[in-house]
């Protein structure tokens, strides 16, 4: 727990897309096989500086996501290491057949970065929300799915993915993110959850930017004498079944939090494991099965109960307080 940014402490707020761009630029300067492909999205992905410094290692396809993925697959088949950066709402929907066939089925070493995921484009409404991407991508054989919690994890994840020879869909948000970690001084391993806080009364499992919400909720529960375990499930697939079942056995109750539909995402993945191996109560918190309201991310979160108060109230009900 020593590496967790606690409530009340000063927390940096940096967008994961900015960190990813900076890390990719540093790595690409050393490895000419690293290429970045965009769909008129280098600004949205904070990749403008990458294009200026390494113009021969960035490919602008334009607003043509299907071509974007197909070109990336071809480059990977030629021995390159392509990183695709495109809005998650379009990347995961318009080009899903190419992701399924050209990337996953063909086992091409393409890293798909879905930027501005979840409700990052909150005010633009359902057409720009990306709340089904985890459900779709995690159901595709041969495709791994990941979400970093903050800038520290984003950096570690990209560094690991450069050497990770598998197709990956990585989803990040658009806005600055409060730190969940104090530093990069922790072990990051693809497919292995990180125990952010210990506890044996109840477990909260979160991924991506909702990890900060999980931590703040656990800190609030601590004030009520409820010891809440927090798991950062940064890899949705392959899922850390061992950590989930350990939590089920030792705490007996689980809450999942995600910036995604309550259908098919992290909560569904956790419930699939628990229900078949060690059934315990699981409460899935996410966006309901409806076109999400338009508004700023914080406003939409509050509207749908993705708040410390609501998580705390649900947890207290589950533990009988």
Please, what's the b/e burial string for 125-159 (b: 16 or more CB within 10 A of its CB; e: otherwise)?
A: eeebbbbbbbbbbbebeebbbbbbbbbbbbbbbbb
Q: Do residues 233 and 289 share a domain?
A: yes
Q: Provide the pairing of β-strand 144-146 with 235-237.
A: antiparallel
Identify the pLDDT of residue 9: 54
Query: What are the Cα distances from residue 286, in Å, to 92, 132, 257?
Result: 19, 11, 6
Q: Which of 118, 146, 178 is the last residue of a domain?
A: 178
263 inside domain: yes
Q: Which residues have a Cβ under 8 Å from the Cβ of 56 and sit 6 or more positions away?
A: none
Q: Is residue 169 part of a domain?
A: yes
Which pLDDT score is estimated for 74? 97
Domain residues for 156? 13-178
Please enumerate in sequence order all residues whose Cβ is within 8 A of that of 249, keeping only pairs 6 or more positions apart, or say none.
Answer: 278
Query: 178, 210, 228: which is the final residue of a domain?
Result: 178
| pLDDT number for residue 92 | 95
In this prediction, residue 90 carries a pLDDT of 95
The pLDDT value recorded for residue 7 is 63
Residue 179 CA: distances (Å) to CA of 15, 80, 158, 244: 10, 33, 17, 24
Q: How many domains does the chain have?
A: 2
List the CATH number of the domain containing 212: 3.40.50.920
Helix and strand totals (H; E) in the chain? 12, 14
Q: Identify whether residues 101 and 207 lie together within a single domain.
A: no
Domain shared by 58 and 145, yes or no? yes
Task: Determine the straight-line distance between the first and last CA of the chain, rounded to whole angstroms.
Answer: 25
Asked if the structure places residue 222 within a domain, the reply is yes
36 and 138, same domain (yes or no): yes
- Given this model, what pLDDT does residue 46 score? 85
Reduced to 3 states, what is the DSSP secondary structure of residue 106? coil
Q: How confident is the prediction along the chain (321 residues), in pLDDT tens digits per residue?
A: 578 876 655 567 888 888 999 999 999 999 999 999 999 888 888 889 999 999 999 999 999 999 999 999 999 999 999 999 999 999 999 999 999 999 999 999 999 999 999 998 888 888 888 999 999 999 999 999 999 999 999 999 999 999 999 999 999 998 888 999 988 888 899 999 999 999 999 999 999 999 999 999 999 999 999 999 999 999 999 999 999 999 999 999 999 999 999 999 999 999 999 999 999 999 999 999 999 999 989 899 999 999 999 999 999 999 997
pLDDT at 120: 86
Q: Answer whether residue 187 is part of any domain.
A: no
- Residue 76: predicted pLDDT: 97
CATH number at residue 133: 3.40.50.970
């Amino acid at each position: 727990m020593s590496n967790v940014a606690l409530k009340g402490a000063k927390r940096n707020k940096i967008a994961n897309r900015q960190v990813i761009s900076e890390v990719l630029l540093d790595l690409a300067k050393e490895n000419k096989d690293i290429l970045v492909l965009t769909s008129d999205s280098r600004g949205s992905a904070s990749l403008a500086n990458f294009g200026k410094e390494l113009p021969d290692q960035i490919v602008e396809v334009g607003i043509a996501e299907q071509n974007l993925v197909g070109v990336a697959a071809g480059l990977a088949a030629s021995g390159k290491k392509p990183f695709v950066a495109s809005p998650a709402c379009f990347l995961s929907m318009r080009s899903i057949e190419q992701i399924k066939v050209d990337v996953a089925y063909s086992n091409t070493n393409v890293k798909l970065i879905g930027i501005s995921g979840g409700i990052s484009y909150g005010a633009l409404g359902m057409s720009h929300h990306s709340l089904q991407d985890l459900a779709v991508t995690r159901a595709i054989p041969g495709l791994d799915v990941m979400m970093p919690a903050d800038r520290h994890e984003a950096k570690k994840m990209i560094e690991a993915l450069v050497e990770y020879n598998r197709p990956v869909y990585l989803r990040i948000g658009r806005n600055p993110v409060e730190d969940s970690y104090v530093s990069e001084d922790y072990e990051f391993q693809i497919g292995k959850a990180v125990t952010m806080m210990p506890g044996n009364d109840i477990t909260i499992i979160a991924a991506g930017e909702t990890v900060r919400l999980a931590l703040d909720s656990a800190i609030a529960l601590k004030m009520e004498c409820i010891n809440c375990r927090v798991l950062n499930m940064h890899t949705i697939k392959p899922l850390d079944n061992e950590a989930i079942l350990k939590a089920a056995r030792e705490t007996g109750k689980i809450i999942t939090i995600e910036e995604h539909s309550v259908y098919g995402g992290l909560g569904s993945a956790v419930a699939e494991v628990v229900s078949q191996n060690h059934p315990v109560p699981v409460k899935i918190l996410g966006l309901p099965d409806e076109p999400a309201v338009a508004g700023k991310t914080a406003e939409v979160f509050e509207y749908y109960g993705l708040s410390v108060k609501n998580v705390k109230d649900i947890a207290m009900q589950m533990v009988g307080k």
